[in-house]
Amino acid sequence: MSAVKAMGADTFARHATGRLRDQLTQPQSANLVRLRELRIDPIREDYDLLWNGACGAQVGKQNSLKHLIPSTLAAFQAYRDALDVHDPTTFPGPADPWRSDIKERGYRMIDVGDAANPSRFHLTDGRSCKTGGGEAAVLGPAQMSKLASSIFSSPTKTVHIVASGSVFEARHGETRMSGQAEHDKMLELARDHRILLLSGDVHENRFAVPYPAANWSLFEATSSGASLRTSVTVGALRCNWGLWKSRRKP
């Protein structure tokens, strides 16, 4: 982390694109990307932004670090572009220039399913607007407002899948419950809407607060490669996986 923090904008841009290039050119990953029947939409966590625990709102206010933000936006946008066209070879090479004018996409919503079985994917950015510790904001007011409006405007039978880099609640580490206002808003939305939170980062999740009786409740599934065994790297194998499938639109 200290080495990355000492980099200039150009050095970091090439460092970040190099790491993402390694991911795209890894054989199994490249084969997955080339499957045109799949749609792959990545969201960013701390390592995808800058480093462990990185918070965009905090970094953006530090003169010694804020020059890294354009670099990381450019690298991740190039990664998204390669995924969109299903071609890892379109990703920039080591000597290619990078753009300094990329803006963060922020919240995105994707309608899937059909009229009989409507579903919505909500892709959130929990890092660009996050304050230190997340007490003031994780998603920030603009994203939270768009998420809430999209859920409220949908038919009541719609299933909402909210992609979140951070778990909603846990015993340790960064969670969505650190920001009380956003945490409470999600619980409010979950009272009358069908919401499944897909999360990651911390290797466990739990519901730490009592939920009020309502039509619905909030459900969460956290994804972590470290959760394969009870002690992360050793112990009994855990078959804790699931598959969710939606019908394509006509």
Q: What is the pLDDT of residues 112-152, one digit of tens each?
A: 888 888 999 999 998 999 988 778 888 999 999 999 999 99
Model confidence at 172, pLDDT cuts 50, 70, 90, reads confident
Q: pLDDT tens for residues 231-243?
A: 556 666 666 666 6
Q: Which residue has the higher pLDDT, 241 or 199?
A: 199
- Spell out the alpha helix ranges (H) of the chain: 2-5, 9-25, 27-33, 46-49, 56-59, 68-84, 141-152, 180-192
Model confidence at 250, pLDDT cuts 50, 70, 90, reads very low
For residues 25-40, give the mean pLDDT. 93
Using alpha carbons, list the distances in angstroms from residue 228 to 56, 98, 171, 237: 30, 37, 19, 6
Q: Which residue has the higher pLDDT, 250 or 135?
A: 135
Residue 78, pLDDT score: 95
Q: Number of C-alpha atoms within 13 angstroms, CB side, residue 128?
A: 17
Model confidence at 201, pLDDT cuts 50, 70, 90, reads confident
Q: Across 170-174, 204-208, 226-230, which has the greatest mean pLDDT?
A: 170-174
Is 60:69 a contact under the CB 8 Å cutoff? yes
Is 202:174 a contact under the CB 8 Å cutoff? yes
pTM of the model: 0.85
Model confidence at 228, pLDDT cuts 50, 70, 90, reads low
Percent of the chain whose predicted confidence (pLDDT) is above 90: 51
Q: Taking Cα atoms as reference points, which of 75, 25, 84 lies closest to residue 48?
A: 75
Residue 241, pLDDT score: 60
